[in-house]
């Protein structure tokens, strides 16, 4: 009989899914454990905790550690992150480098206290880098940074739950308000009701936007009447909001015009669709037409070259339009 050392026998242990401690977790582990009610078995059915520990010790490979993080039940990650500061840093690290799809189920199940701790630390680092001018372009906004990319794929219900935790448990309305812009307008309009906030709490949440409060109804014109009502008893804020009616109405008209342009672009199979777009834009004032083109480029409905050439024509630079007419037209609808 061949006897193996104790450490080698331990390495050959397999989890409830039949995967060795030394091997990466398959992509369906999380679903498997949820369906098998492994917590009720009374046995240690998942080795994600041990795999993460061994990764820190330099025993396990990167793929073993990363897949253990991505597939571990939420309570294992919470336990691991509270045992030591380096354990917390490892969980935060894997969250930041994983794709949104890889961590979606993890974030959906993660306790808000751990998520808050992670995101606050990421934000602190982001602010430091921003101060040192080491972030550029779109990443000047924290939620556009790579570390926060998973937020853009989360359902409104999960974001709302986190906002409520920040607001009530952490009393951190400024941080909570940072996530308001991720929500669709339909969710924003009923946010207070869906979270069970009273008027004072909802007003406190929006005050967390600070100076950006006055930019918010420009981004989301439909929220304007709600904000007026919400701050009806706050003279300082109400006076400023009440002067913005013209700006909000203009933004609403721009959004309607953008939708009209998108209807034309959707019919891009038509030979003269680009001409129809220009015909429509020329019914608007020049500034509005150029702003709509900027909105279309920002949302990837048209490319930079299309926007530049259409802008040149709207400005009266017909020679550029002739060049455009000879180019292959490319419109993208999302």
The pLDDT assigned to 208 comes to 97
The pLDDT assigned to 74 comes to 86
- Residue 151 covered by a domain: no
The pLDDT assigned to 129 comes to 85
Mean pLDDT, range 75-91, rounded to an integer: 93
Distance CA 91, CA 86 (A): 9
Higher pLDDT, 194 or 136: 194
- Where is the domain boundary, 132, 155, 176? 132
Mean pLDDT, range 126-154, rounded to an integer: 80
Residue 310 has pLDDT above 90, yes or no: no
- Residue 213 covered by a domain: no
- pTM for the model: 0.81
- Where is the domain boundary, 97, 132, 167? 132
Distance CA 158, CA 160 (A): 5
The pLDDT assigned to 2 comes to 41
pLDDT band at 158 (very low <50, low <70, confident <90, very high): very high
- Residue 139 covered by a domain: no
Give per-residue pLDDT as tens, 100-110.
Answer: 888 898 999 99
- Residue 224 covered by a domain: no
The pLDDT assigned to 320 comes to 47
- Residue 169 covered by a domain: no
- Residue 30 covered by a domain: yes
| Total number of domains constituting the chain | 2
Domain hosting residue 81, numbered range: 13-132
Mean pLDDT, range 295-301, rounded to an integer: 84
- Residue 279 covered by a domain: yes
The pLDDT assigned to 43 comes to 52
- Residue 4 covered by a domain: no
CA dist list (Å): 26 to 33, 102, 133, 137, 166: 12, 12, 40, 37, 34
Give per-residue pLDDT as tens, 221-256.
Answer: 999 999 999 999 999 999 999 999 999 999 999 999
Residue 334 has pLDDT above 60, yes or no: no
Residue 304 has pLDDT above 80, yes or no: yes
User: Is 293 within 8 Å of 310 (Cβ atoms)?
Assistant: yes
pLDDT band at 1 (very low <50, low <70, confident <90, very high): very low
- Where is the domain boundary, 132, 164, 179? 132
Mean pLDDT, range 273-291, rounded to an integer: 86
């Amino acid at each position: 009989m061949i006897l193996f050392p104790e450490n080698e026998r331990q390495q050959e242990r397999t989890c409830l899914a039949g995967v060795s401690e030394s091997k990466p977790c398959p992509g369906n582990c999380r679903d498997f454990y949820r369906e098998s009610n492994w917590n009720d078995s009374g046995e240690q059915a998942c080795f994600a905790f041990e795999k993460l520990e061994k990764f820190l010790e330099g025993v396990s490979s990167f793929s073993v550690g990363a897949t253990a993080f991505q597939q571990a039940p939420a309570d294992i990650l919470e336990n691991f992150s509270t045992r030591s500061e380096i354990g917390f840093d490892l969980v935060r690290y894997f969250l930041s480098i994983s794709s949104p799809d890889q961590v979606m189920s993890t974030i959906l199940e993660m306790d808000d206290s751990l998520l808050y701790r992670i995101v606050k630390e990421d934000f602190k680092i982001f602010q430091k880098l921003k101060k040192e001018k080491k972030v550029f372009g779109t990443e000047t906004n924290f939620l556009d940074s790579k570390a926060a990319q998973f937020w853009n794929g989360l359902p409104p219900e999960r974001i709302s739950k986190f906002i409520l935790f920040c607001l009530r448990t952490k009393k951190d309305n400024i941080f909570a308000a940072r996530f308001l812009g991720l929500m669709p307008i339909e969710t924003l309009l009923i946010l207070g009701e869906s979270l069970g906030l009273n008027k004072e709490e909802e007003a406190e949440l929006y005050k967390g936007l600070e100076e950006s409060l006055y930019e918010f109804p420009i981004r989301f014109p439909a929220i304007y009447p709600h904000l007026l009502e919400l701050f009806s008893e706050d003279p300082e804020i109400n006076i400023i909001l009440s002067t913005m009616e013209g700006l909000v109405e203009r933004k609403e008209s721009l959004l309607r015009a953008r939708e009209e342009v998108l209807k034309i672009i959707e019919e891009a199979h038509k030979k003269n669709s680009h001409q129809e777009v220009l015909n429509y834009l020329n019914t608007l004032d020049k500034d509005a037409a150029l702003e709509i083109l900027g909105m279309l480029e920002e949302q990837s409905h048209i490319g930079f070259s299309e926007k530049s050439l259409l802008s040149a024509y709207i400005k009266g630079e017909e020679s550029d339009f002739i060049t455009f007419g000879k180019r292959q037209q490319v419109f993208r609808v999302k």
